[in-house]
Structure 1
Amino acid sequence: MTQLYVGSEVGQLRRVLLHRPERALTHLTPSNCHELLFDDVLAVEAAGEEHDIFSQTLTNQGVEVLHLHDLLVETLAVPEAKTWLLNTQISDYRYGPTFATDLKHYLADMTNDHLATILLGGLAYSELPIKSSSMLPKMHRPLDFVIEPLPNHLFTRDTSCWVYGGVSLNPMMMPARQRETNHLRAIYRWHPIFAGQEFIRYFGDEDRHYDNATIEGGDVLVIGKGAVLIGISERTTPQGVENLAAHLFASGQASQVIAIDLPKHRSCMHLDTVMTHMDIDTFSVYPEIMRQDLDTWQLTPKADGSLNVKQMPNYVKAVESALGLDQLRIITTGGDSYEAEREQWNDANNVLTVKPGVVIGYERNVYTNEKYDKAGIEVLTIPGNELGRGRGGARCMSCPIERDSI
C-alpha cells in the first residue's frame, strides 16, 4: 500500500494528480471566459497536446500520473458516490426541486464516462433532450449552461492540497470553481486508491458554507520540516489560513505556518505564481511582488489548542528559520524589467520541482530558464503557448499526492 503523504515541495515526487483539458475548454468563448476566470480562449487540441507532453515528462521522471477524469469515472462506479455527487452537484437549491429531479434522472442513466465528461465539461440547455415542467428551462436561452463547465479543473493544485499526512479540501473563493471541490471530496472518500486509507481530512470536507474561510492550494507551499508557507492572496483569506493552521496543529502534522500578505492583483493570483521552492535552500522569486516589506506572520500552536500569532521581520527570515538554513538562495525572474514582467505573467516562477534541483517549466520563459540553469537548477521544458493562457504553470497544473520529505 502506497503512502498518501507530501513531506515537502522539493523531495522526490512519486504520485501526482493532473487533469487533461478537454470538453470544458470547448465551452470557453470570448463572451464567457472572464466569468469562467480565463483571460483568453485556448486552442483545445493544442492545449491537450501540450498537456500530454507535461504528463509524459513526469512519467519519464518516474512519477506516477493519475488523471482526474479517470478517477472520477472510477468513483462514479461506486453507487453511493454517484448518488452523493448527483445530489450535491444537482441540488434542489441550485435548480429547484422539479428541475433537479428531472435532471438527476437524465444524468443517472448515462454511462459513468459520459457523466464524468458532463460534470467536468458542462452542458448547455440546447444539448438537453428532456422536457421538464419546471420554470427554469423555459427562462433560459439555448446556449445558457444547465451545468457550467469547469475549465479551472486544469489547475488541480488549488482544489485540494496534500500537506504532510493529510489533505485540505479547499473551500474556493470564486463561484466558478466551488463545484470542483465536491469532485475531490467524492474521489478521496470512495475511490479505491483512497477509500479505507489512513489520512487526515483537515478542512473543507463537511456539507456547509465556509463563509469567509477560503483557501486555494496555489497559496500553500509545504516547505518541509513541519512548516507550511501560505500566501494571503485574492483567493486565500486570513480566516482560511487560521482554520487550516488550527487543523494542522490539532492533528500534529505541522508545527508552524508562515503567512505572507500578498498584493491583491491579477499577476499575483496565488503565492506560487510569484514564488516556488526549487531545491532545499533555493526559491524562485518575482522580486517586483515578493518584496522584503510584505507583512509576514508565524502561527504556532498553544497548549490550549488556540493559535499563537507573531509578526516576523520578513518572509525570507521566517523561511530560513523554519528550514534551519543560514541563508536562502533566491533566483529572481530573468531578463530586464520588461522581460521579467512578461515571463512572470507566463509563469516563469511557477515551476514544479520533481526532485531537488530538477524542475518542470514552460520553454517560452527563456531568460528565467537560463538563470535557473546557471544556478545549477535543471529545467525540463514543456510547451505552454496554449496552456499558459490559463495563467498557470506546471505547479498550478499538478496536485502532488505522494512526495518525499527533505
Structure 2
Amino acid sequence: MFHVDSEVGALKQVILHEPGLAFERLTPGNKDELLFDDVVWVSRAQEEHREFQQVMRDRGVTVHLLHDLLAETVKYEQAVAFILDRILDVRQPHMGPALTRATAGVLADMGPDELATHLLGGLNKRELLEALGEHRTRGARSLGLELMPDDGFVLAPLPNALFTRDTSCWVYDGVSVNPMMMAGRKRETVNYEAIYNFHPMFAESGAHRWIDGEAMAPAAIEGGDVEVIGNGTVLVGLGERTTPAGVEILARRLFRTGSARRVIAVELPKARAYMHLDTVLTMVDRDAFTLFTGLDRRHLRSWTLTPGAHQVPEITENKDFFDAIADALGLDRVRVLQTRQSSYAAEREQWNDGSNLLALSPGTVVAYEVNEMSNRMLEDNGIEVLRIRGDQLGRGRGGPRCMSCPIERDAA
C-alpha cells in the first residue's frame, strides 16, 4: 500500500506536522538549544501551514497529521510502554530514578490526545507538579526537580518535528526511521518508531524497514539527504547530518531486497546552510533538478554504490555527478536549473530555502513565495510553481520538501 517510487511522480499520501505547543515554547533564550533559528508567530505559522495542507488537498493528496497519528498510536498500551521506555532514562543529567518514575506515571495517566501533545510539545516542571497534585509523593524527592525552575523542561519540546521528512523517509517499498544526528531531535525517532510499529495503518502494511531508528546509531542518516529519483536509484547527501556509514548501511539493505540497484552519494559542505541535500538540490521534473547557485556543478564530488560481493556495496567515484544521474535514469542528460543572481540574492534565497521544493507531480512544485527570482526561473523553464507563504514556517530553515514525508507516490 505504501511506497515512494520517485521524487516527482504523482503524490498520493503525505505526513505533515502542524505547528503547536512546541512552537509556543520557543524563546530567544532556548531556540538555539532546540535547533531553531528564530522564534515564531505561532498563529500565523499555523495559518501558513494550513494553506500548505490545502494546496495538497486541492491536488488530490491525502494529508495525515503527525499529532493525529501519534494520538491514535498511543491508544495502545504497548505503544505507550515502548515510547516511555525509550524517552525516560535515569541516566539523563536532570532525571534520576525519582523523576523518571514520576514522569512516567504522569504521562501514562494522560489520554491519547494529551499524551501526543506533550510528546511533541514537551512537559515542564509546573505541568508535572500539577499533574502529580496530592500524589507528589508517588516517587521520592528528586534533586533534578528541586534544582529545575518552574518553567524548566522535564521533556524538551520538539519544534523540528515540523520537518517530517528528516525523521522518517520512504524509499521505494520500505521506510527508513532515521537516527538523528543532533541530540535535540533524537526523541522524534522514537515517536515514528511507535507509529510504524503500532498504528493500525502501518503495523500490517508489510513494508520493509530499511533503518530501524536508534538501533543504527551512532551512524546517522536523515531524510532531507535522501532523494528517490526513480529507476531503482537513490541520491544521498553526505553533509553535516548524514554519515558515510549511514549511506552504506542503507544501500546494503536496499540492495539485499532488490528494491534499489544504485545509490549515488554526493559530498556537501559541512555547514548549516547546506544542512541536507534538499536544501541545495531537488528534483522538479523527470529530467530536471534545481541547484543552489552557490554550488558549482562541475566540482561536486560523488560516488555510485552498486551491489557487491558478500553484501558489501561496490563503490565507484563518478567523473561528473549529473552525468551519473542521467545514466541512472536512462537519459542522455538532465537539466540543471540555477538562478542567475548576485551572490547577495543567492544567499538570501538559500536562507529562505529557494531550492527546497516539493513536487506534487512531474513539473509541478510547491515553493515559498518569497523566493521570487528562483520561482521565476523555474517558470521560465516550464515548471509550474504553486506559491505558499512561509514568513513564519521558514524560520526553522526548512522548506516545503522538508515539511513533508510522502508515504505514497507513483513512479514518474
* TM-score w.r.t. length of structure 1: 0.96
Unmatched 5+ residue regions in structure 1?
A: none
The alignment status of 1:320 with 2:326, answered yes or no, reads yes
Cα deviation per residue 1:302-341 (whole Å; 9 max; x = unaligned)? 1421110111012111111111111111111353332222
SS in 1 for 2:120: helix
Aligned counterpart, 1:74: 72
Which of 182, 207, 210 is the aligned partner of 2:217?
210
Quote the Cα distance in structure 1 between the aligned partners of 2:162 and 2:370. Answer: 20
Map 1:247-326 → 2, pairs under 5 A: 247-326=253-332
Aligned residue type for 2:17? H
- Output the CA distance in 1 between the equivalents of 2:39 and 2:320: 38
Per the alignment, in what secondary structure is the counterpart of residue 198 of structure 1? coil
Aligned residues: 402
Contact kept in structure 2, 1:333 and 1:343, CA below 8 Å = no
Q: Where does 1:87-106 land on structure 2 (aligned, <5 Å)?
A: 87-94=85-92, 95-106=95-106
The 1:311/1:209 distance shift into structure 2, 3 A limit, reads: closer
Higher mean C-alpha displacement, 6-15 vs 122-131 = 122-131
- The 5 Å alignment of 1:26-37 reads 26-37=24-35
Separation (CA, whole Å) in 1 of partners of 2:105 and 2:294: 53
| Equivalence for 1:387 | 393
Residues 294-373 of structure 1 mapped to structure 2, 5 A cutoff:
294-373=300-379
Aligned CA distance change for structure 1 residues 327 and 209 (closer, same or farther; 3 Å)? closer
Partner residue in 2 for 1:116: 116
Inter-partner Cα distance in structure 2 for 1:280 and 1:93: 49
Q: TM-score normalized by structure 2?
A: 0.95
Secondary structure, aligned partner of 2:270:
coil
Say if 2:283 and 2:289, in contact at 8 Å, map to a contact too: yes
1:188 maps to what in 2?
196
Instruction: Tell me, yes or no, if the aligned pair for 1:298 and 1:311 is still in contact at 8 Å.
Output: yes
Provide the residue aligned with 1:159 in structure 2.
167
CA contact (8 A) 2:179 2:222 kept: yes
Secondary structure of residue in 1 paired with 2:54: helix
Q: CA offsets, 1:231-263, max 9 Å, x none? A: 001101111111111111112111010000101
Of 19, 22, 38, the residue aligned with 2:20 is: 22
**Contact 1:333–1:349 (Cα < 8 Å) also in 2:** no
Deviations 1:58-115 (A, max 9, x none): 0001000000000000000112111211222223333323221111111111111011
Larger mean CA deviation between 140-149 and 388-397 belongs to: 140-149
Which residue identity lines up with residue 14 of structure 2 in the other structure? V
Determine if contact 1:294/1:314 at 8 Å carries over to the other structure.
Answer: yes
Kept after mapping to 1: 8 A contact 2:293/2:346: no
Q: Whole-Å Cα distance in 1 between the matches of residues 320 and 277 of structure 2?
A: 15
Give 2:11's aligned residue.
Answer: 13
Shift, 1:274, TM fit? 0.4
3-state SS of 1:16 partner:
strand
* Distance in 1 between residues matched to 2:216 and 2:190, nearest whole Å: 13
Contact 2:293–2:340 at 8 Å: present in 1 too? no
Residue type of the partner of 2:319? P
* 1:4-43 deviations in Å (ceiling 9; x for gaps): 1000000000000000011001111111101111111111
Q: Is the 8 A contact 2:239 2:268 kept in 1?
A: yes
Aligned to 2:408: 402
Given that residues 284 and 362 in structure 2 are in contact (C-alpha distance below 8 angstroms), is that contact kept between their aligned partners in structure 1?
Answer: yes
CA distance in structure 2 between the aligned counterparts of 1:311 and 1:404, rounded to whole angstroms: 30
Gapped regions of structure 2 (runs ≥ 5):
none
Distance in 2, Cα, partners of 1:148 & 1:323: 43
Distance 1:343 1:331 in 2: 15
